[in-house]
Structure 1
Amino acid sequence: MSIERIVLAVAGSFVLLSVLLAHYVSPYWLWFTAFVGLNLLQSAFTGFCPLAVILKKLGKEAGPAF
């Protein structure tokens, strides 16, 4: 699995998890959802993604986006 697919899978999982936590635990979890969304947005413009850097250091293969 390439870095791009892992980043998208982790981001999607975090969004779904935080929405569930916001519904069942506290609406403050929506701030985490916003953080993930903003991180995805900034990585679209800058090409920098902290998770992608970590995955590169762990030896995962990079695809065309990162």
Structure 2
Amino acid sequence: MKWPPTNCWTAPKTIEGNRHYQVKAYGGKNDKRWVDLFPTKNKKDIKRISWLTLKSKWTSGWLRLPKD
């Protein structure tokens, strides 16, 4: 997956009631790259995820999810 990251991501599981996230900021070099994400429902709740975790466990873009 190429750097910089795409703008929208779907979490592998629900995190505090959210699965769809957008990129706020990103940085770092090589294996120390990181991405700050916020859920679409709450722009103030920012999570920092390592680039390695994001590209291996998360899905780029927003998946259509079944209703819980």
The two structures share one fold, judged by TM-score above 0.5: no
Greater RCO (Cα-Cα under 8 Å, separation 6 or more): 1
Structure with higher helix content: 1
Give the TM-score taking structure 2 as reference length: 0.24
Structure with higher strand content: 2
